Structure 1
Amino acid sequence: MLEAQSRHGRTVLTTLCVLALLACNRPPEIQHDAVFGPSHGAVGDTLWFSARALDPDGDSVGVRVAWGADDTSGWTGFDVPGKLESLSYVWHDDGYRIVTAQARDIRGALSNWSLGRGVSIGVAPVRPEPPIGPGYVQLDREYAFRAVSRDTSGHERRLRYVFDWGRGKLDTAAVSYPSGDTVIHRHTWRTPGTYEVRVKAITDRVGIPSAWSEPRRVLVDSALGSLIWQYVLGAEVHSSPALDEERGLLYVGCDDFRLYAVTTAGGPVWQFVTSGRVRTTPAVAPDGAVVFGSDDETLYCVGPDGLLRWRHGLADKPGPAPALGPGGAVAIGDESGRIHVRAPDAGEWRSYRTGGRVRCGPAFGADGTVYAGSDDRLLYALTPACSLLWSYPATGRIRGSPAIGAGGTVHFGCDDGAFYAVAPDGGFRWRYKAGGDINCSPAIGADGTVYVGSDDRWFYALDSSGRVRWRFKSDGRIKSSPALGDNGEILFGADGGSFCVLNGWGDLMWDYDAGNDIQTGPVVGSDSTVYLAGTDGRLHALRTGCRLATDAPWPMYRHDARRSARAGGPH
């Protein structure tokens, strides 16, 4: 026992005992000498860190954390040693921070500061939009999806991307891309089902992630592109099928002198016999009447029951398709060089004589103007009364039917590979030169992109100023006019029998072998069935997963499923 006396005679034993106890108190420590927490975070986000304090004497302990930049948390409450203590912090500036922790026991002994935890604080990239890609895909086939984000830190940091293909399948890019660049990731699904594809961007090196995008739903179907049914006609077919969905009927002409009516389930209904080959694409009026031409130099109109309603004699074999305008107007060209127009409300027929054969189908503008091209290398604009408004000189014979874009711009191709966009008043807009004849009609998307094929085997996507956005090389000449799907798909056929479906970036999504040349335009039904005809006389119905792009000004050959060839007409 130690005894001591103060100068006042009081015992200071108690004080000495306390000092002795303090001298024996060993300091606490931070377990593993480490702080646990994220290695990166975004400015403004709440980040959580934790540390575990131990005490060799078993004393209660507390923890505090230094956040860097002379900012330290308060102490946690005293608790049993070994308990994980968590603290949060929000950084309001980007940069690199060192986070450390310190412990103290209830008797005031302090540990050393732990080793530092490096934390990168930055600005999160812009949350990407849902990935751009198909919504309906085949099993065991690779598909491309696109995404874009931007770094907003002001440092133009490069970005990496993580794609979530659904059901826990993640794909992280090994390379980084400049801020604002569109990136492409590809994926193959091996199991049918519905998947939700998401993407997020991560700043390179700093590692700050954006929020996940909204998902893009993808249906993986082993039957996509499969044949639903096939109907064999009596001879070659050079007529694009027309669809009357209200009555569930398809119409197609044939070289056996007949117009066929077939149900959308692939069953025969009736045949109307003419005295010549039926190579025109039929057009279906709102009341179900079908207008078509025959090589017997006659334009026919039959009802949906197959009975003749009227006929009109032409001066020669008809062009490839009639057009149906407002108020019951009708227009068609023939190989004598005439453009025949019937005035609205069953008015009289009039004709305008061009300087060459008219081997393209006319089209009606929204105001009733008739546009048609001729082998004399002129595009004509006529009034509903068949008077000339203007003509535009091209460099080649005009074989592709005109398509009318938003604002009334008229688009058409020529047999010398030239493709034109002409203003509604006949003024020049732009011209593009392909490597082969353009004998098909274009489709025009909602954003003004023009899609057209050529005999050079290339399929082109041209922007609204005539510049090439992309092109796709097919296996054969392209005489088939394309159709546009509601998810950005482009559908067309080619010589050799390949029916191709591309996405909006020009990647092949899937194809179908029809067995013979496809020189006609497909027609897209509202139930995602696509109907196409081959030159070998077979009509095919395919399961495609896409519907017609009804927001497009001219989404398929002759504008719509009824083949009216009228701007603003029914889809």
Structure 2
Amino acid sequence: MKSRPSAFRALIFIILAASAWAGATVNTHAARRPVLTYTNRADAKLPEGENGFEWTFNAKGLVSSPCLSFDGLTLYVGSADRRLYAIDTLTGESKWTNGLKLPAPIYTAPIVDENGRIYVGGSDGRLYGISDQGDFGTNDLRSPSIGRPLTTPALVEDGTIYVGSTGNRLDAYFPDFARKWFYIAPDDVRTPVITDDGTILIASGGFLRGVSDAGTEVSSFIARSAIRTLPAVAEDGSIYFGANDDLLYAMESGATTNDLLWRFNTGDDVMSSPAIGADGSIYVASDNSRLYSLTPNGAIRWVVRTKAPVRAALSIGVDGTIYAGCDDKRLYAISPEGQILWTARTRAPVRSSPALDAFGIVYFSSGKTVYAIQTEAMADDSDEPAWPMFRKDAQHTARATECRPFLIEEPHRVGDTTGADTFDATIGEPLSIAVAVRAGAPVTYEWRLNGTVIDHEVNRTATNAVYVLASVEATDAGGYTVHAFNDCGEVESSQIFTVNITNAAPLITADITNQFLLVGRTLTLQIGAAGSSPLSYQWYFNSNLIAFATNTT
């Protein structure tokens, strides 16, 4: 289990001991982080009361499922009191005084992008984009209202934002919140899920629809009853979801009603979104107060009984521990082998899906309260294209990583933070040029100089994300671009990174060649050269200067 640096711990204790903000209750005893004991007893539970938690945070209204910032230092929750709260994960205190007041209640969970912007769907039908400063300033965004409450949004690599609504539609927005397109569904649209080929899956009434990134329908599956869960997508593309007909459905990507892999009867309605473990095990809870573990073929591995139905979406830690919020006012931690490791008692049914950070702390909400518990698990921070659980992963990022490559950073000099697209290099000095690409499958790189592919045999780094020149030569001057590709697609850098040589004497790189022509025909001669810019040219004939002949041709 990861642990936070000791210096952080000492500082954290000082801050907590001095804290007096009324919204947070923090355990500041000597054993400030009570680590749970794995007892393998069915009745194992945390100590009753607040001493079993890292901290608790109280809002003024019901709070949503939480999500974590990229650095894990901030937890965001929406609330029925019309506020978006940013909670310091170290102290449990609000980072924004009394939260950020919005025009409408927030019943759905927020998400955060790589730049720290928070996206949340309001019950007023607007999508909000808010900076991590929490002041809703001029740089913050809000979409036009569609008149019906929105779901939790989802993000893709190119910045597109997808969000469903109870207005029977799926909307796609550009990063500046201009509407890209919308798709009309047969019923309310639940939170979108994105597969590794970019298909957006939405549950709407009794349908599971697949929508392309252009807004056109590509698949449609009809269940026997209303689908109340979000689908979970495995690495092989298999899709699992539950419905009010007691069934868990398993199907291939793009399947229709007749293309099912299998169905499993849970014995009651399935209201909790299923989750998929790293070994391919499928976990699903039923309203009959049972949680099932199934093999990828639909066979039962084990069954755990709870004291009430589990309706919160399931989460899974990197060690395989399953976290389930239950209507008996408890959060359950269950081992991959089906043993209840511990339960944490709260004051209201636990309907939120827990989020985990890299330090093994579990965050969840119940009623108007957010709880933090130190555990021996942690979130899986790998960036895989699958969507195996509620909002993709245990950190609740809701960010899709598609198989095909996306350019994150244009070619740039390693070590430069200015974003410059030119560099004056010195002969004999080292130079490294890098590009950043994200993809859900291995990527091959192809660096080019002035449009010509650089031979891998000449420079072994010409197929890497970082192109290294151990000792710059005059012939290295010019414009660099990169082509990145894998089995799913390709991407080309749009920015040319130009390398100028500051101390290079002129060097002929392509000499003139002898030609034989008939009298009266046109003679064209061309020279290639490298060196410090600007280079000047002068042509001669029989050692005599040719007037105005000052170009490469």
Band the TM-score falls in, shorter-chain normalisation = 0.5 to 0.7
Q: Does 1:382 align with 2:237?
A: no
Q: Is the 8 A contact 1:225 1:512 kept in 2?
A: no
Task: Give runs of aligned pairs for residues 397-476 of structure 1, distance below 5 A.
Answer: 397-426=226-255, 427-476=259-308
Q: Does 1:336 align with 2:167?
A: yes
Question: Which of 286, 291, 298 is equivalent to 2:114?
Answer: 286
Task: Measure, in 2, the Cα distance between the counterparts of 1:267 and 1:259.
Answer: 14
Question: Which of 505, 525, 528 is equivalent to 2:337?
Answer: 505
TM-score under structure 1 length normalisation: 0.58
Task: Give runs of aligned pairs for residues 181-192 of structure 1, distance below 5 A.
Answer: none
Task: Measure, in 2, the Cα distance between the counterparts of 1:425 and 1:225.
Answer: 49
Deviation of residue 258 (structure 1)? 1.2
Larger RCO: 1 or 2 (CA < 8 Å, sep 6+) = 2
Which residue of the partner structure matches residue 74 of structure 2? 249
Task: Measure, in 2, the Cα distance between the counterparts of 1:510 and 1:423.
Answer: 35
Which residue of the partner structure matches residue 138 of structure 1? 37
Q: Does 1:321 align with 2:149?
A: no
Q: Is the 8 A contact 1:496 1:515 kept in 2?
A: no
Q: Is the 8 A contact 1:280 1:320 kept in 2?
A: yes
Task: Measure, in 1, the Cα distance between the counterparts of 2:352 and 2:337.
Answer: 23
Task: Measure, in 2, the Cα distance between the counterparts of 1:399 and 1:222.
Answer: 33
Matched residue SS, 2:236: helix
- Residues 1:406 and 1:345: Cα distance change in structure 2 (over 3 Å): farther
TM-score under structure 2 length normalisation: 0.60
- Residues 1:314 and 1:347: Cα distance change in structure 2 (over 3 Å): closer
Deviation of residue 409 (structure 1)? 1.8
- Residues 1:322 and 1:240: Cα distance change in structure 2 (over 3 Å): same
Which residue of the partner structure matches residue 274 of structure 1? 102
Task: Measure, in 1, the Cα distance between the counterparts of 2:266 and 2:130.
Answer: 39
- Residues 1:512 and 1:247: Cα distance change in structure 2 (over 3 Å): closer
Task: Measure, in 1, the Cα distance between the counterparts of 2:339 and 2:49.
Answer: 20
Task: Measure, in 1, the Cα distance between the counterparts of 2:402 and 2:303.
Answer: 28
Question: Which of 346, 353, 363 is equivalent to 2:193?
Answer: 363
Q: Is the 8 A contact 2:141 2:176 kept in 1?
A: no
Task: Measure, in 1, the Cα distance between the counterparts of 2:135 and 2:396.
Answer: 19
Which residue of the partner structure matches residue 226 of structure 1? 52
Which residue of the partner structure matches residue 62 of structure 1? none
Task: Measure, in 2, the Cα distance between the counterparts of 1:513 and 1:363.
Answer: 31
- Residues 1:493 and 1:487: Cα distance change in structure 2 (over 3 Å): same
Task: Give runs of aligned pairs for residues 11-160 of structure 1, distance below 5 A.
Answer: 138=37, 141-142=39-40
Q: Is the 8 A contact 2:142 2:177 kept in 1?
A: no
Q: Does 1:477 align with 2:376?
A: no
Task: Measure, in 1, the Cα distance between the counterparts of 2:399 and 2:218.
Answer: 19
Q: Does 1:260 align with 2:85?
A: yes
Deviation of residue 347 (structure 1)? 6.3
Task: Measure, in 2, the Cα distance between the counterparts of 1:549 and 1:531.
Answer: 15
Task: Measure, in 2, the Cα distance between the counterparts of 1:303 and 1:517.
Answer: 31
Supply the AA of the counterpart residue of 1:291: Y
Larger displacement relative to structure 2 (486-495 or 307-316): 307-316
Task: Measure, in 1, the Cα distance between the counterparts of 2:83 and 2:325.
Answer: 23
Q: Is the 8 A contact 1:329 1:344 kept in 2?
A: yes
Task: Measure, in 1, the Cα distance between the counterparts of 2:314 and 2:401.
Answer: 17
- Residues 1:280 and 1:433: Cα distance change in structure 2 (over 3 Å): same
- Residues 1:222 and 1:455: Cα distance change in structure 2 (over 3 Å): closer
Deviation of residue 455 (structure 1)? 1.8
Which residue of the partner structure matches residue 203 of structure 2? 373
Supply the AA of the counterpart residue of 1:365: T
Task: Measure, in 2, the Cα distance between the counterparts of 1:225 and 1:410.
Answer: 40
Deviation of residue 373 (structure 1)? 0.7
Structure 2: 5+ residue stretches without partners: 1-34, 404-437, 441-553
Q: Is the 8 A contact 1:226 1:543 kept in 2?
A: no
Which residue of the partner structure matches residue 392 of structure 2? 559
Cα offsets for 1:373-397 (capped at 9, x unmatched):
101x111111111111111111121
- Residues 1:240 and 1:405: Cα distance change in structure 2 (over 3 Å): same
Matched residue SS, 1:278: coil
Which residue of the partner structure matches residue 124 of structure 2? 296
- Residues 1:355 and 1:242: Cα distance change in structure 2 (over 3 Å): same
Q: Does 1:517 align with 2:349?
A: yes
Matched residue SS, 1:520: coil
- CA RMSD in angstroms, aligned pairs only: 3.0
Cα offsets for 1:523-558 (capped at 9, x unmatched):
0010011000002x0000001111124578545421
Task: Measure, in 2, the Cα distance between the counterparts of 1:337 and 1:353.
Answer: 6
Q: Is the 8 A contact 2:36 2:375 kept in 1?
A: no
Deviation of residue 486 (structure 1)? 2.4
Q: Is the 8 A contact 1:483 1:548 kept in 2?
A: no
**Identical residues among aligned pairs (%):** 27
Supply the AA of the counterpart residue of 1:235: G
Matched residue SS, 2:158: helix
Supply the AA of the counterpart residue of 1:433: N
Q: Is the 8 A contact 1:460 1:468 kept in 2?
A: yes
Q: Is the 8 A contact 2:239 2:252 kept in 1?
A: yes
- Residues 1:247 and 1:544: Cα distance change in structure 2 (over 3 Å): closer
Supply the AA of the counterpart residue of 2:104: G
Cα offsets for 1:430-475 (capped at 9, x unmatched):
2222222222222111121111222221111121112221111111
Q: Does 1:531 align with 2:531?
A: no
- Residues 1:447 and 1:268: Cα distance change in structure 2 (over 3 Å): same
Aligned residues: 358
Structure 1: 5+ residue stretches without partners: 1-135, 145-187, 189-220
